[in-house]
Every structure is written in C-alpha cells, then in structure tokens.
Structure 1
Amino acid sequence: MSPRSKKQFEAMRHESMEKIANAALQLFGKQGFHSTSIAQIARAAGVSKGLLYNYFESKEALLHFIILHAVEVGEALLEQALTQNDSPQEQLRAFTEGTLALLQKDPAFWRLLTALAFQQDILEGIMPQLMEKQGTAMAKVIAVFAQLDVPNPQEEAMYYSAVMDGIALQFVQMPEGYPLEQMKAMVLKRYLKP
C-alpha cells in the first residue's frame, strides 16, 4: 500500500470535520448547546474524543465552525449571483432562487441551524465576526437595489432580507406543503418588472 498524499490526508481531514460538525449540529439542535458534551458529539460522530480535539480545540470552536460554514455558503451564493449575472434583476433573481433552492436541498440542516441560533447566548463569542460578514453582504445587496433604482435601496434591501428570512423560517419549520414556489414568485414579482 502506498503512503497517502497530502491531498488524500486533507480530504480525510475535511470528511472527519464534516462528520463531527453534522453530529454536533444534530445534538445542539435537539438537546441544546450547553446540554451537549464533547463525549456525546464524539460518540455520535463515531470518532474518539482525542480525534475531535485534534480538529476542534473546544465545543465553542466546533460551534463557530458550524455557524461560519453556513455563513460562508450564503456568502458564496451571493458572490456567485453577483459575478455570473450582469443585470441587477438577474443578480437578484439568481440570489433569491439560489437561497430558496439551498433551503429545499436540506431543510433539516437549516432547521437545526435555526434552532441553534435561537438558543440564548449561543452566538456571543462569534457575534463581532458575524456582524462584519452580515454588514458586507448587506452592502452588496443594497448595491443591487440601488441599481434597480428603488427609492430607498437600504430600506428595500432590509425589507427583502426580512421577507427572505421569514420565508426561510416558515419553510424549514414546515417544508411539507409550504408554498415555496408561490412565495418565490411573489418576491420576484415585487422587484422584477416584466
């Protein structure tokens, strides 16, 4: 058997981290962050506590990894919508459709992440970083609305964000039977004039 390459080790490391993060998210979402132990996470992930600590120095570091990974997925989606489309209408369409498709792909993941985000004091250690990332993303969305020539781009971007958050929250709570396509059509109709 030949020794593993650096690329193979990195793939194994990434796979292990994902397995640990998924197990932790399941437990955090169901029994709460504070009530979940490292031992429970390791057991659910099928790894030793030592291996878990090899990847994450603490339960808080693991939580931050999970949340930042989800934020990075959203950032990548927004960046893709902005760079792959020339007009602000198509940028907004791509971001709206991409966001809702992401929810549809794995509503259970987003439901657990939402439950985690609503747990008291859960985001304290990471809040400055999240606020910075949110500010950067919101500035990009405001720029899209400015190009759409809406009267108040900042307020409209905040309204859009609130509507999308509301749709996402309702969908992840009751994905079966939720009229996601109709909600998407309503959002797009508001901003994309025929």
Structure 2
Amino acid sequence: MKFKPGDKVSVLDDSFNGVVKKYQGGKVAIETTDGFELLFDEAELVAIQNTDMRSFFSGKSVNAVLREKEEPKKRSFVKEKKSKNDGFVLEIDLHIEKLVPNKRGMSNYDILTLQADTAKRQLEFAIRNRMPKVVFIHGVGEGILKAELDFMLGRYEGITFGDADYQKYGLGATEVYIKQNLTGS
C-alpha cells in the first residue's frame, strides 16, 4: 500500500485533488475536493507533500514567490446553489483507443461489441448509483456505434436520451437522463 487514509493526493491525468479514504477492491478510493468518492489505481495518483516552501527561500523573495503563486481572486457573481449530485456528469468515451491499449487483431464486430458492452455496464452503474445524467462520447464516424447505442438505450425504461450539448461535445455524443424513482421501491 503506497497510500494510507488521510493522505492528500493528486490525479496524474486529471485536474483534481483528493484525500485517500480507503482501499477497495485493489483500488484507492479518494474523496475529491468537490466531495465525490472515486476509485483509482495507485499508479494514477501522486502524493501531495505538505512541505512549507518558505523554508527554501529567505527574506523578501518569499513574499514575491508567494504573490506569484497566489491563485487569482475569484470574481464575484451570483452563483446558483447546486447539490453535489447536480454538478457531476458521468462521461464515458467509447472510442476504442480509450478502451483498450491496442486494437490490433480486433475485428470491427469485436470493437463494436466491446463498445456496446462498456456502454451497457456504465449505464447500469449510473442507474445503480442514482446518477441523474450520463454522456456517451461515440464520435461521428459512420453512425454505427450511435445506432447501436440508440437501440440499447431504447430498451431501458425510466431513461430519456438525445444528442448531447453541441457546444461541449460536437455531434459525436449522446446524453442520457435517468429518471429517479422517488417512491423508494
């Protein structure tokens, strides 16, 4: 175990930090600064040291360095309050390059099957975890994967889907809204 609960970590290929909560199924569970608990491999995380950089500098340069490193002041504007669940959107990139390290030897059927299985598994994860929205990034291409997604999504009750936000995703994404069952059954 490289990390222990309470360690501050940063995700290597992403722009967020968190605190190690526990080890779960061979993965490290961290709580992000936004309050979400996510799982990562140890290799995807790096510890954030709590060393005080002031000890490396002396006198006047400390204040100059701190001023340079200081984050810009946030502009004041009225911001709509949202719950933690409203702000998080599960985005799944179904491009084959994101799913396997090497697609050599895979037929088009194998690729499409893997993409469809990944989409189904991730959608069922989102439903189980009561996530309100999922975005599948499928790309434009010839439209075969989009057609497969549309067919699969049409078989689920309690969801609606359509093209995702064009400004954010372009034409190659489908947005799925999961209706939450409020009766508690």
Q: What interval of TM-score do these two structures reach, taking the shorter chain for normalisation?
A: 0.3 to 0.5
Greater length-normalized contact order (CA 8 Å, ≥ 6 residues apart): 1
Structure with the higher fraction of residues in strand conformation: 2
Structure with the higher fraction of residues in helix conformation: 1
TM-score, length basis structure 2: 0.35
Question: Which one has a bigger Cα radius of gyration?
Answer: 2
TM-score, length basis structure 1: 0.34
